[in-house]
Structure 1
Amino acid sequence: MNDKRRYVRVRPSGLVPRAGKIYADPKSPVMECQVIDVSAGGACLYVAGQAPIPKRFIFLHGSVKKSSRLVWERGRKIGIQF
C-alpha cells in the first residue's frame, strides 16, 4: 500500500499527551477527545459524547491550540487538518 501522507504521523506515547479538546468558539461547550495519532498537518481523534462535531473548530492538545477543520468522520473517530 502506498501511503501518500504529507507529514509523518506520531502516535501518542509518554511524551505526547493522549487527551485533547475541541470547541467551535469560546462560548460553545468543550468536547473531550482522545488523540489517536498526530502530525504537523493534522490528527486522528476519537471524540467523546454524542454532540454533533463542528466542521471548523479549535483543537487543544497539551499547550498547543490549533485552528482546525473536519476532513473525515467515521462515527466518533475523525480526521482533522490544521
Structure 2
Amino acid sequence: MHPRRFARVRPSGCVSSVVKLQLEPKAPLIECRLVDYSAGGACLEFAKPIQLPERFEMFHGNTRKRCRRVWSRGVRVGVSF
C-alpha cells in the first residue's frame, strides 16, 4: 500500500461541513456534506445517490474549486481539484 500524497483531514473549527455544487452554468446549486478534504481532493456525501457529471464546480465557504469526479460509491463521491 502506498502512502497518501496529502493527508486527509476532517474539516473542523469554523469551517462549514456543507458544500454547494454547480453542475451546469445557470443551474441551481446542489447542497451536500463534506466528509473529508485534502489539498488534492475531497469526499462528498449526498442525501440520496446522485449521478454527477465528469466536471463541475464546488463552493466551500469563500472558495470555488473546479472538480473532477474520480469515484462514486452509493451516496459518497470522491472528487479531485
Q: Give the TM-score normalised by structure 1.
A: 0.85
Change (3 A) 1:32 1:48: farther
- 14-23 or 54-63, which deviates more: 14-23
The equivalences for 1:31-42 within 5 A come to 31-42=30-41
Aligned equivalent of 2:53: 54
- Which stretches in structure 2 are left out of the alignment for 5+ residues? none
The equivalences for 1:1-82 within 5 A come to 2=1, 4-49=3-48, 51-82=50-81
- Which stretches in structure 1 are left out of the alignment for 5+ residues? none
Q: Which runs of 4+ in 1 moved over 4 A?
A: none
Q: Given residue 5 of structure 1, which amino acid in structure 2 is its aligned partner?
A: R
Q: Given residue 6 of structure 2, which amino acid in structure 1 is its aligned partner?
A: Y
How much identity, in percent, do the aligned residues show? Answer: 46
Cα distance in 1, alignment partners of residues 59 and 33 from structure 2: 11
